[in-house]
Amino acid sequence: MSMPSDTLKTPRGNLAGFKAYFKHDILSGFLVFLIALPLCLGISLASGYPAVAGIFTAIVGGLVATFLSDSELTIKGPAAGMIVIALGCVQEFGFTGGVDPAKDFQAYRLALGVGVVAGVFQIIMGLFRAGILVKLCPKPAIHGLLASIGIIIISKQFPILMGLNPQGSPLALLAGIPSFVINMNPKVGLIGILGVTIVLGYSYIKNPKLKVIPAPMMMLLIIVPMAIFMGIGVDGSYTFNNKIYELGQKFLVNVPASLMNAMTFPDFSGITTETGIKYTVLFAIIGSLESILSAKAIEAIDPWGRKTNLDRDLLATGLANTLAAFIGGLPMISEIVRSKANIDNGAKTRFANFYHGMFLLICVALIPGVINQIPLAALAALLVITGYRLASPQEFMSIYREGKDQFIIFVSTIFGVLATDLLKGLAIGIGVKIIIQLIRGGSIFRLHAKILLERDLSITIFLRGSIVFSSWISLRKQLERYLKKGKRVTLDITETRLVDRRVLSNIDEWKEKFKENGLELSVRTRKSSPDE
């Protein structure tokens, strides 16, 4: 990997890095802020939280997590992948969708209590290095979980894009899409459709100078004046094609004029209930899973090849989540889209995340009136596109190309989530994975290994049977042991029946760890590897 020409050393998020890369990081932080602002608002509202909740989360993620994590280029904040969990939590605590504001506010406070406890669990996981447990989930089940979340987001947000507010299950809402188009509020629907068109059309612009402003912000710069001209937020009605349609403030974002007054403190009375326990587990496990996957993905494309201590990053995320929930924020993760944009914008250190949070704080503190002119349909347009990207046909094809077994697990997880909920759906995906392993004659938890000390004091680990995702912990312990002892290790998989793709991916990561310590980890295989 070639080193960027503007520096001869690896940038670090320390005092020297703060000074040396100030211009790069503050510019990237500002551009990421332009992307984050509409997404934070949209994710909050889609989650059943007040619009400002997502802003609180991103501010804490920027101003606090920056100094706790060693992940140099990730952006912390709310993510579309957590919408379904957050919305399910407030709904089971009595959220009415605006029918009874008092009940909605209480459901929000109860969900904040769950968020605080889930953050504490993440802290414990980070301290006890339990991040490895999250990484054991099979890859196709994870992708199935994310794809199902994308489908649910589309089903929930498409009616809002059309200016409607129907209720129902995701499958029922998907089936109702044709009727939503027929019965849409024309002015609001026009705003939503135009928002989708602008964001999708942006990708066809090839001149980088014309794309200095990120697509979400460019969309708002066009849509907000248009909505003001059309009177979307003016209380009243209009007639179109002999039908009467409403307009008013309910179609616009509502952010309080004072951030201090907007702060909301949690109610912990629901954490010991069935709902509280269920969503504490979901927030902690799914949030940690998404955050670790995002951090690993960004680590892989870091121009300087810097590594992230995932346990430390999980600890930082947990601490920031606890604080964010205490003041009224959504659950936080390392967010992949904004992190990728951070790299593309030329960020060098973690201070870009700090600046993105700082700009959000300044914006919401100084110009809440401008934010309150943003149509909800425009934010729904962003979320529909996000949902489509999570569940795109390319995602299905990508998993299918990895093998029929992978695709079966992927699809099973999707149907499991849509038929039940996220936690049960993920469990169904993992269960299908285990059944497939048993059918293939694999042992689920036991690691069949024979260790031989060679004459040159190197180690050869002969693996037998099936090496699957659930036996990785035992193998990892062996690798960690010999890495600390400074041994060269050879993994002999010539007599294995099956080696899980996730295990092979983890072995590749450990090859890099050995290399960084001046050692070698090699794999001895047959000509045709038994990789599934």
Residue whose token pair is 């959504």: 330
More confident residue, 169 or 278: 278
Which range among 35-49, 210-224, 326-340, 460-474 shows the weakest confidence by mean pLDDT? 460-474
Question: What is the chain's mean pLDDT, rounded?
Answer: 89
Answer yes or no: is pLDDT of 124 > 80.
Answer: yes
Integer CA distances (angstroms), 129 to 286, 472, 520, in order = 17, 15, 24
How confident is the model over 31-47, as a mean pLDDT? 95
More confident residue, 470 or 35: 35
What percent of the chain is modeled with pLDDT above 70? Answer: 94
Phi-psi region of 190 (alpha: psi -120 to 50; beta: other; left: phi over 0): alpha
Q: What's the confidence (pLDDT) of residue 283?
A: 95
More confident residue, 497 or 490: 490
- Give the CA diameter of the chain: 90
Which pLDDT band, with edges at 50, 70 and 90, does 443 fall under?
Answer: low
Q: What's the confidence (pLDDT) of residue 472?
A: 78
Q: What's the confidence (pLDDT) of residue 18?
A: 92
Which pLDDT band, with edges at 50, 70 and 90, does 453 fall under?
Answer: confident
How confident is the model over 500-507, as a mean pLDDT? 80
More confident residue, 235 or 130: 235
CB 251 within 8 A of CB 376: yes
Answer yes or no: is pLDDT of 191 > 70.
Answer: yes
Q: What's the confidence (pLDDT) of residue 135?
A: 62
Q: What's the confidence (pLDDT) of residue 532?
A: 42
> Given 3-state DSSP classes, what are the helix, strand and coil percentages for the chain, each rounded to the nearest 5?
65, 10, 30
Question: Per residue in 356-368, pLDDT tens?
Answer: 999 999 999 888 9
Q: What structural domains does the chain harbor?
A: 21-382 (no CATH), 393-439 (no CATH), 448-524 (3.30.750.24)
Tell me the C-alpha distance between 320 and 63, whole Å: 9
Which range among 77-91, 220-234, 284-298, 325-339 shows the weakest confidence by mean pLDDT? 284-298
Residue whose token pair is 């602002």: 37
Catalogue the E-assigned strands of 95-227.
none
Which range among 87-91, 93-97, 145-149, 455-459 shows the weakest confidence by mean pLDDT? 455-459
Which pLDDT band, with edges at 50, 70 and 90, does 526 fall under?
Answer: low
Answer yes or no: is pLDDT of 246 > 70.
Answer: yes
Phi-psi region of 97 (alpha: psi -120 to 50; beta: other; left: phi over 0): left
How confident is the model over 397-404, as a mean pLDDT? 90
CB 78 within 8 A of CB 44: yes
Q: What's the confidence (pLDDT) of residue 441?
A: 60
Which pLDDT band, with edges at 50, 70 and 90, does 5 fall under?
Answer: very low
How confident is the model over 317-346, as a mean pLDDT? 95
Which pLDDT band, with edges at 50, 70 and 90, does 8 fall under?
Answer: very low
Answer yes or no: is pLDDT of 90 > 80.
Answer: yes
